[in-house]
Structure 1
């Protein structure tokens, strides 16, 4: 079936209320519900008996982020993502104003959606080979030329590392209390007492002056994996933006997620960082300097995450359950202490 004809049928199969029309659709199932209550559904078209993914564009966020990225960024990248099949968006303006004016001209686009290729059930198995493939893809993204794309986003859904750094330093007493509790409980092999003063000084003095690159922005462990055919697939590009390279590297190597726990060790972390460095055409710093800077970046981000998790644990009904948060907290501590050892090795 030609793409234009397929797009036309998909448009007919989705009502103005963004519901699937049984006249055109033979099967449908909710495969994921976001934290904002938006359903992502798999459906099968009667016309060709192929399945697709319907994703409603959030009504309470910038509505055109993902669509804008699909139309302007994805053509620059290898096809490790579900293809865009069809879309509907109120007042979409292809000159990028649909993305950049969303915050200033806030509306609730309740009838906006995209339909994507169905790549099958994704396995989030974070073995070494998958992580190596991810590092290779990150290196490609980071070398992409976005100079011809005006108004490239410079912010994602999380604060920048400079803001995280400032917030961590402003809450240092709270962070130090967490460290003291961990030491008293005997849950650490890190000599925090002898390190904490020098660590704080390094964090205070650290400046992030690297050039910005094209980042996916949200490469947590649930946003990539392998299809049933073994194809690497990378999802959810709506937070794509310009940032320093460590942003994507940290998300793939050390960021925790309540639903997708994973293990990391010192040797694998160094191998992944080394592989990234080796793919740089003209490295602006030595490999050891890059790894040292990464360790400080990761320490700041993970420490900030611990404070965030601690606040969530004080809530009666946080977004994630307390059991999930405790699992995530343990992973963050483990990764943080590994990065402390990395920092010690390269300082």
Structure 2
């Protein structure tokens, strides 16, 4: 079914005169809503306005220059508008149907299979991929954690992280030399950005795509806690996921060094996240409920403690 020429009005909004019904899926960072809309009772599409004002044209670029190389594991853009006026930027996607966002071992291993595949694409074959995403680089995250070292000690101690563990992680971070390996990164691969649709994996929202360390995508999949998508991570499952990834990537890698660096990466990123979550709890901005934030905090602390323990078991 083709879309009407007047599907979107001149002011960048869905034309209510041709839409049978619509439903809100989620709110973007700038307050605009991503919606499912129906032209008939059976035929629906996804309308996505610009949800982050700093991302004009980026998602379309990724679809045309990067995802065009991919198998069918992502929703296709049907039509779009790119404009210097933020309110006139929008995309219409195919509607994949009901999405099941659930973290479990089977789904995680399926994501890992594809992650290992796109991480193995030589970056020189990908063209002018952005070198940064929306979040700070891991180097900047680590610098901020060290800058706030006194606050980190106080906060982690209050959250029942032992003094020895806090001392241990700062010791490891002090001597950590970051790997220079860069791969194509999804950029925001938390549980809300992959889903099972009719028993098939689909990976969504590629607007944060950039070049980064392999650990960026791995951390977001394994240890990034999200207020809307709770999950339980264990040391055994983490080790299984990392082992599966290393068995499938096609670039050369020192497995022992890679795993140790993952635990360092996950530890410092988790500490940074704890600082952010604690700030959200104090400021009570209202985007997430207190219960959601506390659950996110608990998950992040648990991941941090598991990674610190793994590091201590590995030794120097």
TM-score (norm 2): 0.94
SS in 1 for 2:195: strand
Return the alpha-carbon distance in structure 1 between the equivalents of residues 289 and 240 of structure 2: 34
CA drift at 1:149: 4.1
1:259 aligns with 2:228: yes
Q: Which residue of 2 aligns with 1:44?
A: 38
Alpha-carbon displacement from aligned partner over 1:218-252 (angstroms, at most 9, x marks no partner): 0011111111x111111111000000100000000
| Contact 1:10/1:86, CA 8 A, preserved across alignment | no
1:239 aligns with 2:188: no
What pairs up with 1:279-318 in 2 under 5 angstroms?
A: 279-285=248-254, 287-318=255-286
Q: Which residue of 1 aligns with 2:189?
A: 219
| Contact 2:78/2:93, CA 8 A, preserved across alignment | yes
- Structure 2, unaligned stretches of length 5 or more? none
| Contact 2:29/2:51, CA 8 A, preserved across alignment | no
Return the alpha-carbon distance in structure 1 between the equivalents of residues 38 and 244 of structure 2: 41
* Cα distance, 1:144–1:111 mapped onto 2, change above 3 Å: same
- Structure 1, unaligned stretches of length 5 or more? 91-106
| Contact 1:288/1:346, CA 8 A, preserved across alignment | no
RMSD: 1.8
Quick one: which of 53, 70, 81 aligns to 1:77? Answer: 70
CA drift at 1:216: 0.2
Quick one: which of 63, 82, 94 aligns to 1:117? Answer: 94
Quick one: which of 137, 141, 155 aligns to 1:178? Answer: 155
TM-score (norm 1): 0.86
Alpha-carbon displacement from aligned partner over 1:57-113 (angstroms, at most 9, x marks no partner): 2473221111111111101222211111111223xxxxxxxxxxxxxxxx4321121
Q: Which residue of 2 aligns with 1:126?
A: 103
| Contact 1:33/1:40, CA 8 A, preserved across alignment | yes
CA drift at 1:119: 0.7
Q: Which residue of 2 aligns with 1:142?
A: 119
* Cα distance, 1:293–1:146 mapped onto 2, change above 3 Å: closer
Moved over 4 A (4+): none
Return the alpha-carbon distance in structure 2 between the equivalents of residues 26 and 194 of structure 1: 61
